[in-house]
Amino acid sequence: MRNSWLIALREWKERISARSFLMLSIIGPLTVLGLIYMLFAIGGQTKQHWNVLIVDPAGIMENKILAREDASVSYSFADGYIETQEFEKAKKYQSFDALLEINEKVLSNKTAFVFYREKPSMTMQTRVQYQAERRLEEVLVKQFTKFSVSEFKKIKQPLTVGFRNVYDPNNESSDLSGWVGLFYGTVIFLFIFLFGMTILRSVSREKSNRIVEVLLGCVSPKQLMLGKIIGIGLAAFFQFIIWVLFIGFGLYLMRENLFPDLLDASKMNITELSNEVLTQTSQEQLFTAREYNEFVDLVYERINFTFMTGYFILFFVIGYFFYGTLFASIGASSGSESDGQQFVLPLIFTLCFALYSGYYSLQNPENGLTTLFHYLPFTSPVVVMVKLSQGYKVGHFYELFLSLFILLLSSLLVLNIAGRIYANGILQFGHRVRMKHLFRWMRK
């Protein structure tokens, strides 16, 4: 193992001293910050008025939702239950933009659904969710607790509102925060691809110029492969730390300089707050006082960066070893530096498919195929990050650890198989790699 660490240190120093490493460490975070700034700038600009029909057959909300009128949303209550197909087609409901469904289990499962005709802005989605949640808080406090509203807010469970197209109710994502998980998953596979290709090129180059023959005089093939994977992985992790620090500092500067009114009490509408300021949280005061920007709230209030980044690191490290060993084995088995491209393409397609699986799980969180992608080691890193950002159901958090365990076992299995291919193919020259060669080397 000592030899592997010496090789890893050599690879790490070589990577971090490269010009491409420095450029990606600067350009990457600046690109992410630029995209975030654009989302901040346009996140609260779309305005519209919504006419919402509330279906509350159990009478939980007692035919009221707001203490006073909202200029952006008008609410009406329906008698009895309305099927989504009826809301979609019946003439008497065509004047309503959306149907807010409050069933009798909402007080326990904290879940409601909005079926819309035209997709609302993030501002409108947040406004409807906030106002429905406020009313349900009042009902819960009145019927089931002895707390005041302000005390209850400190221990409450947030309301989950699913926004779905009434014309296509089964094909719509309901949670913006799921995109945060998809972003984390994309970063995982971006780093895996970039540094996986680095492993492939490094192995192929050392094999073609015969340096590997000298190295194998001192270390075993498996030690060489493991050291190379670890060293390049440490460089990837080091670059990720740079990204985190760079982006974190950039977000701080945005909050303090580009969006200084985010939490500035002097910007708030005191007239609107005068009757409720004693019972509202600071986030609710902010919402009432200014046009709500969902993206600002998502980044600064709703993302638990410590929680998400912790699991990101776990799945990144194990996923990197899973794919990194495949890139190393392809480089070792190729007869020349360009010969392994025929096997690299399927691996690249697999990475692209993994990213698509994350998007698919975002759009279809309860689909059986999403469950398969959640446990499949080729796709689990990105799908788990999406599910983690959306939130696992109560009692189902074990699914995350089961997926992590499957990925770990798969990585150990692939590491063993790739080690055999690497050991048997690293000193083979002048051949064209074929599947029969790979199967023969796996058996040795």
Q: CB–CB of 65/131 below 8 Å?
A: yes
- Residue 147 neighbours by CB under 8 Å, 6+ apart: 141, 155
Q: Does residue 283 sit in the same domain as residue 143?
A: no
CA distance readout (Å), 185 to 41, 334, 361, 386, 444: 25, 30, 12, 7, 36
Q: Does residue 340 sit in the same domain as residue 215?
A: yes
Q: Does residue 252 sit in the same domain as residue 218?
A: yes
Residue 258 lies in a domain: yes
Beta bridge partners of 99: 53, 115
Question: What's the token pair of residue 59?
Answer: 């009478």
Look at residues 185, 309, 295 and name the one whose alpha carbon lies nearest to residue 245: 309
Domain's final residue, options 132, 165, 198: 165
Of the pLDDT bands very low, low, confident and very high (cuts 50, 70, 90), residue 393 is confident
- Which amino acid, one-letter code, is at 28? G
Q: What is the CATH number of the domain that holds 158?
A: 3.40.190.10
Q: CB–CB of 363/386 below 8 Å?
A: no
What does the pLDDT read at residue 105? 77
Look at residues 124, 146, 149 and name the one whose alpha carbon lies nearest to residue 136: 149
Q: How far is CA 3 from the centre of its chain?
A: 37
Look at residues 348, 82, 318 and name the one whose alpha carbon lies nearest to residue 196: 348
pLDDT for residue 318 is more than 90: yes
* 323-363: pLDDT as tens digits: 988 888 888 777 665 565 667 888 889 999 999 998 888 87
Q: CB–CB of 367/386 below 8 Å?
A: no
Q: Does residue 311 sit in the same domain as residue 331?
A: yes
**In the predicted model, what is the mean pLDDT of the chain?**
77
Of the pLDDT bands very low, low, confident and very high (cuts 50, 70, 90), residue 378 is very high
Q: Does residue 123 sit in the same domain as residue 188?
A: no
pLDDT for residue 34 is more than 80: yes
Tell me the C-alpha distance between 16 and 273, whole Å: 53
Residue range 39-66: average pLDDT? 75
Q: Does residue 204 sit in the same domain as residue 326?
A: yes
Q: Does residue 418 sit in the same domain as residue 286?
A: yes
What does the pLDDT read at residue 57? 83
Of the pLDDT bands very low, low, confident and very high (cuts 50, 70, 90), residue 416 is confident
Residue 369 lies in a domain: yes
Q: Does residue 31 sit in the same domain as residue 60?
A: no
The least confident of 54-63, 75-84, 430-439 is 430-439
The least confident of 246-260, 278-292, 347-361 is 278-292
Residue 396 lies in a domain: yes
Residue 377 lies in a domain: yes
Residue range 230-237: average pLDDT? 90
| Residue 132: Cβ-neighbour burial (10 angstroms; 0-12, 13-18, 19+) | buried
| Residue 130: Cβ-neighbour burial (10 angstroms; 0-12, 13-18, 19+) | middle
Percent of the chain topping pLDDT 90: 11
Domain's final residue, options 133, 165, 197: 165
Between residues 176 and 419, which one has the greater pLDDT?
A: 419
Domain count, the chain: 2
Q: Does residue 237 sit in the same domain as residue 385?
A: yes
Between residues 330 and 212, which one has the greater pLDDT?
A: 330
Q: Does residue 189 sit in the same domain as residue 145?
A: no
Tell me the C-alpha distance between 407 and 321, whole Å: 10
Of the pLDDT bands very low, low, confident and very high (cuts 50, 70, 90), residue 212 is confident
Tell me the C-alpha distance between 319 and 252, whole Å: 30
Tell me the C-alpha distance between 95 and 135, whole Å: 24
pLDDT for residue 285 is more than 50: no
Residue range 396-420: average pLDDT? 90
Residue range 196-202: average pLDDT? 85
Instruction: Residue 54: count other Cβ atoms within 10 Å of its Cβ.
Output: 22
- Residue 204 neighbours by CB under 8 Å, 6+ apart: 331, 334, 336, 337, 340
**Predicted TM-score (pTM) of this structure:** 0.62
Domain that holds residue 102: 50-165
Q: Does residue 110 sit in the same domain as residue 68?
A: yes
Residue range 385-408: average pLDDT? 87
Q: Does residue 14 sit in the same domain as residue 157?
A: no
What does the pLDDT read at residue 431? 61
The least confident of 131-145, 237-251, 266-280, 327-341 is 266-280
pLDDT for residue 261 is more than 80: no
Residue 170 lies in a domain: no
Domain's final residue, options 165, 189, 213: 165
What does the pLDDT read at residue 315? 92
pLDDT for residue 258 is more than 50: yes
pLDDT for residue 266 is more than 50: no
Residue 43 lies in a domain: no
